[in-house]
Amino acid sequence: MSKDFLILNYGAIIREITGFISKQVKSRKKNGLVIGLSGGLDSSVCLILATKAIERSKIMGLIMPEKGLTPKKDINNARDLAKEMKIKYKEIHFEHAKKNLLKRLPNSKLSSGNFSARLRMALLYHYAYINNLLVLGTSDKSELMIGYFTKFGDGAADMLPLGGLYKSQVKLLGRHLGLSEQIVSQPSSPRFWKGHTAEKEIGLSYNEIDNILQSYENNDLINCKQSKRKIKSVSDMIIKSQHKREHIPILNPPIGEAVLYE
């Protein structure tokens, strides 16, 4: 990873992101934002930046833990930050609804986790619609590039202010913004199952992933210092997840050949 990669112009980045958030809210004539607060790094950084972009009274936080999967410290982190930032927030426990919906369906560990992400997004958009808000997405560039997000789950949002920053850079920005080391340093996790962490599931650290992604973007994988196995693993994830970053294919039949049914 190059030294320039970890040298950030914090002032410029903060101005760009807060300006982006403010412009999106104003140009789309919305009353504010709703954001899912997990107690982790990305959502915490997004919340702090949002409070710098618009009035705090226009921000709604949803804390959506899942009993048996979400650690207590995550919930406490989210609560404490919401209180510190002086925003309105609500806690929603959805595990009973999820259990009732899935009890007659085939069992799948990964699909069940993705289902949780989609339920959370459904709740965010429910609040967004009722209050004329935008859903503030929290995915960073590393997650977007390798596809480490749930399609129509945490990958669904009205804007992605961290989408141009790698996870390693978000960590640096979080420290600069004054986030506690507990939040900045805790392992990233979508909390799909007990003990679930992103790096453990992927098999690589985010430092390694970001190093490879940087080389990938610079068309310089040949000089990447990571092993060929790790480079192939990340490259395969990028290719396999391409469909997550593309618009849904739409069939437009040739004009004049449409069939009319009586």
CA 165 to each of CA 6, 13, 14, 46, 143: distance values in angstroms, whole numbers, following the listed order: 11, 10, 12, 12, 10
Domain ranges of the chain: 4-194
CB hemisphere CA count around 43 (13 angstroms): 27
Q: Describe the strand order of the beta sheet including 88-91 as a list of residue ranges.
A: 88-91, 59-63, 32-36, 133-135
pLDDT computed for residue 255 by the predictor: 72
Domain 4-194 annotated CATH 3.40.50.620: yes
pLDDT digits (tens, 9 = 90+) for 191-226: 999 999 999 999 999 999 999 999 999 999 999 999
pLDDT digits (tens, 9 = 90+) for 220-257: 999 999 999 999 999 999 999 999 999 999 998 887 65
pTM of structure: 0.92
